[in-house]
Amino acid sequence: MKAKIHVYLKPGVLDPQGAAVAGALHNMGYEEVTAARQGKLIELDLTGDDADAAKARVDEMCQKLLSNPVIESYSIDIA
Amino acid sequence: MKAKIHVYLKPGVLDPQGAAVAGALHNMGYEEVTAARQGKLIELDLTGDDADAAKARVDEMCQKLLSNPVIESYSIDIA
Amino acid sequence: MTQYADGIAAEIVAEHGINDEEYAIILDRLGRAPNMVELGIFSVMWSEHCSYKSSRAHLGKFPTSGEKVIQGPGENAGVIDIGDGQACIFKMESHNHPSYIEPYQGAATGVGGILRDVFTMGARPVALMNALRFGAPDHEKTQHLVGGVVAGIGGYGNCVGVPTVGGETNFHEGYNGNILVNAMAVGLAETDNIFYARGAEPGQPIVYVGSKTGRDGIHGATMASAEFDDESEEKRPTVQVGDPFVEKKLIEACLELMATDAIAAIQDMGAAGLTSSSVEMADKGGIGIKLIMDDVPQREENMSTYEMMLSESQERMLVIMKPGREDVAKAIFEKWELDVAVIGETTDTGRMVLEHKGEIVCDIPVAPLADDAPKYERPYFAPEVRAQINAKDVAQPSHMGEVLLKLMSSPNMASKAWIWRQYDRHVMADTAASSEDPSDAAIVRVHGTNKALAITTDCTPRYCYADPFEGGKQAVAEAWRNLTATGADPIAITDCLNFGNPEREEIMGQFVGCVEGMAQACAALNFPVVSGNVSLYNETNGVAIPPTPAVGGVGLIPDMDKRAGFGGMSEGHILMVVGKTTGAMGASTYLRVVEGREDGGAPMVDLDREKAHGNFVRGQIRAGRISACHDLSDGGLACAAADMALASQTGIKLAHDADSDVPMHGFLFGEDQARYLMAAKKDDAIAIIQDAKAEDIDIQVVGLAGGTAVSVNGAHHLELDRLRAAWEGWMPDLMEPVAEAAE
Amino acid sequence: MKSAVIVFPGSNCDRDAHDAIERVTGEKPAMVWHQESELPEGTEFVMIPGGFSYGDYLRCGAMASRSAILPAVVAHAATGAPVLGVCNGFQILTESGLLPGALMRNAGLTFVCEKAPLKIDNGNTRFTSRYGATSELIIPIAHHDGNYFADAETLDRIEGEGQVVFRYGNNPNGSQRDIAGVMNEQGNVLGMMPHPERAVDEKHGGTDGLALFESLLGSA
Ligand SMILES: Nc1ncnc2c1ncn2[C@@H]1O[C@H](COP(=O)(O)OP(=O)(O)O)[C@@H](O)[C@H]1O
Ligand SMILES: [Mg+2]
């Protein structure tokens, strides 16, 4: 099984990388871009085949290590 | 419109971050994790409403700025 | 009929960069056609990068020994004696081709590689330097390359915890298609605990340590030995990605292992990784090797022997251990969570035998790989001698202050703070002077003592282009001068010889001229070459880089309380120039920036004067008479004075003698060699001048410190505030857009 | 005073921390490997040095804050004994929840190494008491992720409680309210991005960091 985890900055947390991306795209003439945010994508290969159980474990991993609750939120897809 | 861009390391390119994440999860007792990869997630807010046109433009942005074609590949979702 | 093994044809041999003659030698030495693995091994070992086939014939001209030299060229790095049982180990290396293709990783792995060369020998790395050349600032690729290279150097060096203390950065359109990234590492060791690639004996286990082997950079060494064309970017091998965290662990683990008595020989895996490291140790020990490829730690599945032998995965070392000591290594490397595996043993057969999945996939004699490597006496011609240009032949500008402003804010002279702010310069707590400090060389204390290393990198490619021989001399002399200006005793150099395609006679002429010039200067200044690197084929679509023999010099300051910088001048101090000023303008910064021309002969370097003036200046520094000292180089006296004024936050009133036969712009901006600018209190200045007269040294009072501007003869004012803003502003202006976008 | 310096595989200011502590206290600190689970008997002061603990992959300090030794550091802090985290050490302390907030990528996105002007915001702590009337310092910084973030409520609270110990004179990284160093509520755990251990020697970085270590001596 694979778990795909998206880690985002929470709303209200300044995102210097996102701001820089938006700024650079603007400078390059992509004026349709009104905002950019940058997050992380973590993919895990997992043994086992119980998707629900896996999701619960991955959720734990996110809370314990993969995200920082002060600034980040996350979502999990198991496939 | 929003564009969601996933940027991954190409297969075969060393992913020290991913390796470190897998190692840390192992040490914490998550033995079901056999491998980890880390990528980037970039979200853009876009004006306009032509999804196909937007995708073509975002593809250009990926090639020019958002990904490093030497070591990374990417995928785009427009929503 | 030429003989080929199954599955190999003439094109495949050619793709491996092996020509017909070379292939014939291989057939002769093997007595049969090589298989793919063997061909791959010959290909990398005989590549320009590993075999120095075009350059070897000339490198022997360098003086390489001396009283303080413990190990000259031929090992992983050079070793010099710095007294008290301590040795300094250093080397410089290029990572030009990879950095052009992928600037961040290319530069980062360049730093990683040069660090390994130094700690392989038992040294703890204590300083990094970087010499960079980029294309024209307005070239479409320049910003991206600068941003990536600088971030890569910082990203790696900062993480491993070795301070990056200095370097140099040039911009010139000649590097548009081929940038230069030369990194230098300096380390410290005990003289009785130095490790070599030589020394292995038959029957010893071969231990692999570090990261796993992947398919990175296969054929990197052959790539570094070919010129670029428009398709190169497509043909590139998988880029090597560095992992500085692993490197940091590798340093600590290797130093821990070196503190035990378990190592017979050790070698990092650099270009052509497992191949060159194993061949070099076997060759230097005069032995054979047998490797079991199945035991090589692998990152990917189904790797072939060919791939494993040619991979340039980073952060790996090969250690030949004393028999029975494998467990010592295992324990240490496991503690540091690094891969460690016994992958073979040394033999007495003189052959390199590789076994994979129960079959012998390679069986070739070691000696020809090294000894029979091709060595070419490539034809060459020296460039036409260019006429000297004196300031008398150059129009006199009306406002010297405005000219100075223009020079100081030109790409090569402007502050590089944008770069060095991204480098951790202070980690290890021994940096006494780095890029930010007003010092001609970086100064790094020898931990726990009151002595220090002085380190500099120098080269003036426009001189080398104008006159390879004088330019080569000048590169060495400037390094010597920069060390001297801090009060150090210059000891030895490393070099990185960056040139175009040596198969062109004109380029080979540049190479030979520079080497011979450098050799002459090294000999005259007792400043031997102890290590170095050659990077050829820096050429795109037939356009070569300017000849760039970068020199990395190391000296010793025996007592840190007796040294100089250029920030100590204050109001009322007298300014003096040691050395003769004639107003030499050929190939000068002035001509390039003000007149937009790069013609004329390079300034001549008089090595006797160079030595006499340097020794005099060093003596005065040690006598404690000098408040500030700066060598004169790019932009001449006025630019050195401007540096001093900015650093000391005191204006300078320069005085030009209208009756002299050197016109004012020659006096200010001429680039005559063997000169130093010194500031001293009045009494000290008098004593200095007396000493100079007694020793027959040219010395001239050129001005007085004071005020808030640099001025000449009471006119031509340039306010320091305005100067500082322009000097500091150029690079941020160039980089701002990239700075926002860079990761 | 018995001190301990925690060493992670990617620590690189551990030797600097060791030497600074020895210089001030006259005693060599114990170097404690990250895989240990206890501090040496009798440890009074614990320092978590700068570096890249585990390569700083994922987030700076994230993995280190889950390492074997951390529970012992947390327990030590709970006894009220002094704990100092510098640079990566600060990141580890926020990641482990001993200090409020988080350290994000510098606003300019590049690594920044410079001699930073600092203001002492609270001179009445066990880390700053020896600074006396001095309120402005120059201490080197060197980091890529020193951009201090906490929500407005937290910021108001820590400012109100005097937990902000140092501020930048010249905010180099985008930190909220120029914050360079914060303390926990009890006042025994300090995290700061600037490196005081690089400022204890005239021949290297100046001496503005000395009083910080001296303050600790008086307070232990
Ligand atoms: N790439 C670089 N990395 C680090 N420091 C640099 C770099 N380029 C320039 N510098 C620093 O900027 C200062 C000025 O450089 P330069 O003008 O080349 O000095 P000089 O001409 O006196 O040798 C030096 O302290 C040098 O170390
Ligand atoms: Mg100089």
**Model pLDDT, residue C740:** 43
Q: Does ligand 1 have an atom closer than 6 angstroms to the CB of C133?
A: no
Q: Is the pLDDT reported for residue C741 higher than 50?
A: no
Substitution candidate for ligand 1 out of C162, C415, C416 with most atoms within 8 A of CB = C416
| Chains interfacing with A (3 or more CB pairs < 8 Å) | B, C, D
The nearest CA of chain A is from the CA of B26 a distance in Å of: 11
- CA C313 to ligand 1 center in whole angstroms: 31
**Model pLDDT, residue D155:** 97
- In this predicted model, what pLDDT tens digit does every residue of B25-44 receive, in sequence order? 998 899 999 999 999 999 99
How far is residue C166's CA from residue D192's CA, in Å, rounded to a whole number? 27
**Model pLDDT, residue C737:** 53
D197 is catalytic: yes
Substitution candidate for ligand 1 out of C130, C169, C673 with most atoms within 8 A of CB = C169
> Which residue type does C249 have?
K
B28/A44 Cβ within 8 A: no
Q: Are C739 and A22 in contact (CB under 8 A)?
A: no
Residues in C closer than 8 angstroms to B14, CB to CB, are 211, 214, 216, 240-241, 243, 299, 313-314
- CA D163 to ligand 1 center in whole angstroms: 40
**Model pLDDT, residue D219:** 59
Find the catalytic residue in D34, D76, D143, D195.
D195
Q: Angle CA(C501)–CA(C507)–CA(C513) in degrees, nearest 5? A: 135
- For residue C227, what is the DSSP state? -
Q: Which ligand 1 atom sits nearest the alpha carbon of residue C478?
A: 23
- In this predicted model, what pLDDT tens digit does every residue of B37-66 receive, in sequence order? 999 999 999 999 899 999 999 999 999 899
- Cβ neighbours of residue B60 under 8 Å, at least 6 residues apart? none
A68/D59 Cβ within 8 A: yes
Say if strands C359-365 and C351-356 run parallel, antiparallel, or are unpaired.
Answer: antiparallel
B17/D58 Cβ within 8 A: yes
D114/C421 Cβ within 8 A: yes
- Cβ neighbours of residue C60 under 8 Å, at least 6 residues apart? none
Mean pLDDT of C360-387: 92
A64/B44 Cβ within 8 A: no
Find the catalytic residue in C16, C58, C95, C613.
C95
> Which residue type does C133 have?
R
B16/D55 Cβ within 8 A: yes
- For residue C311, what is the DSSP state? -
C95 is catalytic: yes
For chain D, list residues with pLDDT below 70.
219-220
How far is residue D72's CA from residue D84's CA, in Å, rounded to a whole number? 14
Nearest to D88, CA basis, from C427, C246, A16: C427
The nearest CA of chain D is from the CA of A53 a distance in Å of: 23
- In this predicted model, what pLDDT tens digit does every residue of A20-68 receive, in sequence order? 899 889 988 999 999 999 999 999 999 999 999 999 999 999 999 999 9
- In this predicted model, what pLDDT tens digit does every residue of C605-633 receive, in sequence order? 999 999 999 999 999 999 999 999 999 99
- CA C166 to ligand 1 center in whole angstroms: 6
Instruction: Determine what percent of chain C is predicted with pLDDT higher than 70.
Output: 96
Is the Cα torsion angle C428, C429, C430, C433 positive or negative in sign?
Answer: positive
Residue D118 at interface with chain B, using a CB cutoff of 8 Å = no
First-residue to last-residue Cα distance in chain C:
56
Q: Are C46 and C26 in contact (CB under 8 A)?
A: no
- For residue C443, give the ligand nearest its CA: 1
Token pair for A16: 């210097």
- Which residues have a beta carbon within 5 Å of ligand 2, which is an ion? C 440, 482, 631
**Model pLDDT, residue C290:** 97
Q: Are C159 and D52 in contact (CB under 8 A)?
A: yes
Q: Which CATH architecture has domain D3-217?
A: 3-Layer(aba) Sandwich (3.40)
Residue D54 at interface with chain B, using a CB cutoff of 8 Å = yes
- For residue C455, give the ligand nearest its CA: 1
Q: Is the pLDDT reported for residue C480 higher than 70?
A: yes
Q: Are B49 and B56 in contact (CB under 8 A)?
A: no
- In this predicted model, what pLDDT tens digit does every residue of C502-545 receive, in sequence order? 999 999 999 999 999 999 999 999 999 999 999 999 999 999 99
- CA C581 to ligand 2 center in whole angstroms: 17
H helix runs in C433-569, sequence order? 461-466, 468-484, 505-525
**Model pLDDT, residue C237:** 56
Mean pLDDT of C291-314: 94
- In this predicted model, what pLDDT tens digit does every residue of C344-364 receive, in sequence order? 999 999 999 999 999 999 999
Mean pLDDT of C363-387: 92
Mean pLDDT of C469-494: 98
The dihedral formed by the CA atoms of C94, C98, C99 and C104, expressed in degrees to the nearest 10: -120
- In this predicted model, what pLDDT tens digit does every residue of C216-236 receive, in sequence order? 877 655 555 566 665 554 444
Q: Which residue of B has its CA nearest to D56?
A: B17
Mean pLDDT of C22-42: 93
**Model pLDDT, residue C232:** 53
Classified as helix, coil or strand, C582 is coil
Domain ranges of chain D: 3-217
Mean pLDDT of C390-399: 96
How far is residue C540's CA from residue C501's CA, in Å, rounded to a whole number? 9
Q: Is the pLDDT reported for residue C48 higher than 60?
A: yes
The nearest CA of chain C is from the CA of B36 a distance in Å of: 13
- In this predicted model, what pLDDT tens digit does every residue of C238-284 receive, in sequence order? 678 999 999 999 999 999 999 999 999 999 998 778 999 999 999 98
Residue A29 at interface with chain D, using a CB cutoff of 8 Å = no
**Model pLDDT, residue C234:** 45
- In this predicted model, what pLDDT tens digit does every residue of C399-445 receive, in sequence order? 999 999 999 999 999 999 999 999 999 999 999 999 999 999 999 99
CATH number of the domain at A2-78, out of 3.40.30.10, 3.30.830.10, 3.40.50.300, 3.30.1280.10? 3.30.1280.10
**Model pLDDT, residue C56:** 92
Token pair for A6: 């998206």
B14/C216 Cβ within 8 A: yes
Buried b (16+ CB within 10 A) or exposed e, C565-601: bbbbbeeebbbbbbbbbbbbbbbbbbbbbbeeebebb
- For residue C631, give the ligand nearest its CA: 2
- For residue C133, give the ligand nearest its CA: 1
Q: What is the ipTM of this complex?
A: 0.93
Name which residue sits closest to atom 11 of ligand 1, judged by CA: C435
**Model pLDDT, residue C224:** 56
Mean pLDDT of C711-737: 95
Is the Cα torsion angle D107, D108, D109, D112 positive or negative in sign?
Answer: negative
Question: For residue C743, what pLDDT band results from cuts at 50, 70 and 90?
Answer: very low
**Model pLDDT, residue C277:** 93
**Model pLDDT, residue C344:** 96
Residue C562 at interface with chain D, using a CB cutoff of 8 Å = no
Q: Which ligand 1 atom sits nearest the alpha carbon of residue C643?
A: 22
Question: For residue C49, what pLDDT band results from cuts at 50, 70 and 90?
Answer: confident
Q: Which ligand 1 atom sits nearest the alpha carbon of residue C457?
A: 23
Q: For residue D20, report the phi and psi dihedrals to the nearest 5 degrees.
A: -65, -45
Strand order in the sheet with C529-535: C431-433, C442-445, C452-458, C548-557, C489-498, C529-535
